C-alpha cells in the first residue's frame, strides 16, 4: 500500500515565523528545504524512505524551489549523487535504510569523502523494525523503534 502525503505537502509551504505541525518525516523534509538543498535522492525500502515519497509527491513544489529529486535504483547510486557536492557549492541530501543501505553505499561513500566537500552533503538513515524488518535483531539487542539519524558535512562557508 502506497502512502500518500498529498494533503500534508501544503504544510511544507509556510515560511519564516510560521509554526510547522506535522509528523517526523514531514519535519525532516521541511528542515531539508529550509537548509537550502539543491538535490535530494534516495532508495526506497524503509520507513525513512517516506522522505523520498514526500519529495516525489511534492514534485510541483520542488520544481518551484528548484530542488532536483531522484528516486535512485540503489543506495550506491544515491551516495554517488552526493558527488555533486564535492566540486560545486551545492548542498545535497540522500536517504536510505541504515545498516543494509550503508553497506551497499560504502564504496561510493569512501570515495566521496576523500577529496573533501565544497558544498554540503547530508545523509539521512533510518531503521526498519517489526516483523517485516530486513535485519534480524539479537535477543541481546534492545527493541528498536523508528529511528533516524542525520549525518552531514559541509564545505567552507
Distance CA 26, CA 129 (A): 20
Distance linking the first and last C-alpha atoms of the chain: 43
Q: pLDDT (tens digit, 9 = 90+) per residue, 97-112?
A: 877 888 899 998 887 8
- Tens digits of pLDDT across the chain (157 residues): 456 777 778 878 877 777 888 778 888 888 888 889 999 999 876 667 678 888 888 888 899 999 999 999 999 999 999 988 888 899 999 998 877 888 899 998 887 877 777 888 899 888 766 666 666 655 555 544 444 455 555 554 4
What predicted TM-score, i.e. pTM, was given to this entire model?
A: 0.76
**The CATH fold of domain 21-154:** Rossmann fold (3.40.50)
Nearest Cα to Cα of residue 52 among 89, 96, 21, 87? 96
**Residue 31 CB coordination number (10 Å):** 15
Question: With contact defined as beta carbons under 8 Å apart, do 51 and 29 qualify?
Answer: yes
- CA-nearest of 53, 67, 62, 72 to 12 is 62
Amino acid at each position: 500500500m502506497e502512502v500518500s502525503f498529498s494533503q500534508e505537502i501544503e504544510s511544507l509551504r509556510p515560511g519564516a515565523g510560521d509554526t510547522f505541525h506535522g509528523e517526523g518525516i514531514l519535519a525532516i523534509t521541511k528542515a531539508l528545504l529550509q537548509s537550502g538543498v539543491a538535490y535530494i535522492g534516495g532508495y526506497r525500502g524503509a520507513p525513512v524512505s517516506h522522505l523520498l515519497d514526500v519529495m516525489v509527491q511534492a514534485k510541483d513544489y520542488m520544481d518551484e524551489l528548484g530542488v532536483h529529486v531522484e528516486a535512485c535504483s540503489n543506495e550506491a547510486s544515491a551516495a554517488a549523487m552526493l558527488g555533486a557536492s564535492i566540486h560545486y557549492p551545492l548542498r545535497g541530501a540522500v536517504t536510505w535504510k541504515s545498516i543494509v543501505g550503508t553497506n551497499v553505499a560504502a564504496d561510493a561513500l569512501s570515495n566521496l569523502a576523500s577529496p573533501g566537500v565544497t558544498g554540503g552533503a547530508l545523509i539521512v538513515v533510518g531503521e526498519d523494525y517489526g516483523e517485516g524488518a530486513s535485519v534480524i535483531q539479537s535477543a541481546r539487542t534492545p527493541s528498536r523503534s523508528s529511528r533516524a539519524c542525520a549525518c552531514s558535512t559541509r564545505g567552507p562557508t
